[in-house]
A = this chain, B = another copy of it.
Amino acid sequence: MDLKAYLNAKRTLVDSFLRSYFRRRFSPPLLREAMLYSLMAGGKRLRPILCLASYEACGKDSKDIIKYASALELIHTYSLIHDDLPSMDNDDLRRGKPTSHKVYGEAIAILAGDGLLTEAFRLLSEESPKIKTQALLKGINEVASGAGIKGMVAGQAQDIISEDATPDGKTLSFIHRHKTGALITSSVRLGAILAAASKSRLDALTHYAKNLGLAFQIVDDILDIKGSTEDLGKPAGSDLRKKKMTYPALYGIEESRKKAERLIEGALGSLRGFPKSADPLREIARYVLIRNN
């Protein structure tokens, strides 16, 4: 299959949903502008695409759930805005553009994040003729779990608390599995839950997602060291300067790369029982190892 064409097609669907969803104006205009600024800053839409691909892997037509998949991008975008704040990672650039608080000030940046997070749940709670209300409710619970205090928020808090601390494998694993891993896992699981997948399929997809999420983050750590500022859209080596715990810092680049490869093998293995409609998930897993941004 042509992964690039697949990713482009799905990204276009998500982008046009988001654009039309935020077409209606609301007050204050500055809040809307700040939300759109970060939402339309050129994200890869990885989380929505994983959700759509997981739904397809369960034999369904992903057009049914564009709205729900897109909600994941609102949550991802909120997390980036808040992570970039001066009191958090204090980043001035994101995807090559000034970060939200640099453009709109801290107060509006915080509120834009709060608004995106809340709006995600508004979207997820809209009824749809194709999806059972019980599946939606389970889906909301899944996303709130992955994004919240036992998921993404816990990971970011641990990351902040661990700055300048002596790196150790257990803490690093906690941060990665929660800060990025949890929402990636919930994205894949949301697709399966909305498709009313069997327990064994849900378990297999969960295993896939956990492996993928950790591999994704390890490759991110490696790219931060080896990538160019142009490719990354942020200064290369910024983890190092901020004394962030990373896999390469703890295990070296070579060992980190091997770990990522083993994780992707594990991800592919868990899809063994799935039909051809799981090919996008398979190709995405392979792509994680060769991406350069």
Point out residues on A near B: beta carbons under 8 Å.
26-28, 30-32, 35, 78, 82, 85, 87-88, 105-108, 110-111, 113-115, 117-119, 121-122, 124-127, 133-134, 136-138, 140-141, 144-145, 147-150, 153-154, 156-158, 160-161, 174
- Residue among A26, A122, A140 with the most chain B CB within 10 A? A122
Contact B115 A153 (CB under 8 A): yes
Contact B144 A125 (CB under 8 A): yes
Assuming the A-B contacts A31-B154, A35-B149, A144-B119, are A160 and B87 also in contact, with contact meaning beta carbons closer than 8 angstroms in the complex? no
CA distance A112 to B82 in the complex (A): 12
Contact A118 B85 (CB under 8 A): no
CA distance A158 to B28 in the complex (A): 6
Contact A157 B111 (CB under 8 A): yes
Complex contacts, A105 vs chain B, CB 8 Å: 87
Contact B137 A127 (CB under 8 A): yes
Q: A87: which of B32, B106, B114 is its contact (CB, 8 Å)? A: B106
Copies of this protein in the assembly total 2
Complex contacts, A88 vs chain B, CB 8 Å: 107, 110
Contact B110 A149 (CB under 8 A): no
Contact B87 A28 (CB under 8 A): no
Starting from the known contacts A31-B149, A114-B117, 8 additional A-B residue pairs (CB-CB under 8 Å) come to: A27-B154, A78-B114, A87-B105, A115-B154, A117-B118, A119-B148, A122-B145, A125-B144
* CB of A148, distance to nearest CB on chain B (Å): 4
Assuming the A-B contacts A82-B114, A147-B118, are A107 and B160 also in contact, with contact meaning beta carbons closer than 8 angstroms in the complex? yes
CA distance A110 to B112 in the complex (A): 13
Complex contacts, A122 vs chain B, CB 8 Å: 141, 144-145, 148
Assuming the A-B contacts A107-B160, A110-B85, are A140 and B118 also in contact, with contact meaning beta carbons closer than 8 angstroms in the complex? no
* CB of A215, distance to nearest CB on chain B (Å): 23
Contact A108 B160 (CB under 8 A): yes
Contact B141 A126 (CB under 8 A): yes
CA distance A138 to B27 in the complex (A): 24
Residue of B nearest to A116 (CB): B149
- 22 A–B pairs (Cβ distance < 8 Å), ordered by A: A26-B149, A27-B154, A27-B158, A28-B154, A28-B157, A35-B149, A78-B114, A82-B111, A82-B114, A85-B106, A87-B106, A88-B110, A108-B160, A113-B114, A114-B114, A115-B154, A117-B117, A118-B148, A122-B144, A122-B148, A127-B134, A140-B140
- Residue among A28, A31, A106, A108 with the most chain B CB within 10 A? A28
